[in-house]
Copies of this chain bind each other. A is one copy, B any other.
Amino acid sequence: MNVPEPKPLPRWARRKDARPEEIIAAALELFVERGYASTRLDDVAAHAGVSKGTLYLYFENKEELFKAVVRGNMLPVLQHGEDLVQAFSGSSADLVRQLVRGWWELTGSTRIAGIPKLVIAESGNFPDLAKFYYDEVIQRALSMFRDVLQRGVDSGEFREVDNDHLVHVALAPLVMLAVWGHSFGCCEREKLQPARYLDAYLDMLLHSLQLAQAQEKMHARTKK
């Protein structure tokens, strides 16, 4: 690795490999900004600095490009979360906190945060995208969260709950936070503060998971 790479490929060759990613990045930006239907491939091409025809060299059609945008951006995020869970060794409450705050730090200020809204909006038009998203994103996220909660229950940290349904409930406010920023966020006079929203969320979630005895302690701590 210390060996200087000989002959860095001429610029155009490198670009060639980068093209799909550049296109996906341009498409993500525009899809998030304008929605699927209102985004013209002309504009995507212009944004990516290529011609319209070039789009079709890399993606079969608009729909496939859309899917690639979703796939290419969501999977790394999930992987990141799963890796965190895997490696974590602290309390389950801390794991929840870190997972949630880490996720937001990673994507909250990014265009990626616009994807959930996009996919929700287009789920009806692209059933197989919805299927993919459900299988590869939602299921994995639910699964991960379910495992985390179970970890807390198993360790005696959390009370027993209807885990299968609770994970849906518990993830909802996170999804909505992402959706909010790309729907009604701009209507607000006083903008919702994500950090405080997440504090309230974690407070609620963890409060509701505490065992009775722990609750007392927490309560005491809160009062302090």
- Knowing A172-B176, A187-B135 touch, does A165 contact B124 (C-beta < 8 A)? no
- A212 contacts the other chain (Cβ, under 8 Å)? yes
The complex places the Cα of A211 from the Cα of B223 at a distance, in Å, of 11
Question: A134 contacts which chain B residues (CB < 8 A)?
Answer: 184, 187-188
- Which of B121, B196, B207 contacts A207, CB < 8 Å? B207
Question: A75 contacts which chain B residues (CB < 8 A)?
Answer: none
- Which of B131, B162, B179, B196 contacts A200, CB < 8 Å? B162
- Knowing A133-B184, A187-B130, A205-B208 touch, does A35 contact B125 (C-beta < 8 A)? yes
- A168 contacts the other chain (Cβ, under 8 Å)? yes
When C-beta atoms are compared, the residue in chain B nearest to A184 turns out to be B134
Q: Mark A29-41, 1 if CB is under 8 A from B, else 0.
A: 0000111011000
Cβ < 8 Å to B, chain A residues 181-224: 182-184, 186-188, 192-193, 196-197, 199-201, 203-205, 207-208, 210-212, 215-216, 219-220, 222
- A120 contacts the other chain (Cβ, under 8 Å)? yes
Chain A, interface size category, equals 35 or more
Closest chain-B Cβ to A134's Cβ sits at a distance in Å of 4
Would you call A166 and B204 a contact (CB within 8 A)?
A: yes
Question: A182 contacts which chain B residues (CB < 8 A)?
Answer: 123-124
Closest chain-B Cβ to A21's Cβ sits at a distance in Å of 24
